Amino acid sequence: MIGYPRAAQIYASLCHWGRYSGFPHLASETPREYGLRLRNRFPSLGREIQVIIEAFNHEVYGEITLPDQQMVSAQFAWRRLRSPAHWPSRLKAWLFRQEDNPL
């Protein structure tokens, strides 16, 4: 298997991706709540975000080793999420987020 060996690592990368996109994970949010917030802001990536969150929840809260196919799906979702094709929507989200919350 190529990529991250655990869903928790993919989720940590998703959190970094979200923070870099202007939507950091809040301490009061569950992974599911954070995923819903990201999906609302990036609807075209909703399926990818959901796959990563579900894999993380199964691995961490379900305390199971994920089947290879589920890990492959999570890794594929991560690769699609971080694709340069989605950078314009991330930049747009970041810029609008900055306008919504001036310092």
Give the pLDDT band (50/70/90) at residue 97: low
Three-class DSSP labels, the chain: CCCCCCHHHHHHHHHHHHHHCCCCCCCCCCHHHHHHHHHHHCHHHHHHHHHHHHHHHHHHCCCCCCCHHHHHHHHHHHHHHCCHHHHHHHHHHHHHHHHHCCC
The full set of domain ranges for the chain reads: 7-100
pLDDT(86) > 90: no
pLDDT tens by residue, 18-54 = 998 888 999 999 999 999 999 998 888 999 999 999 9
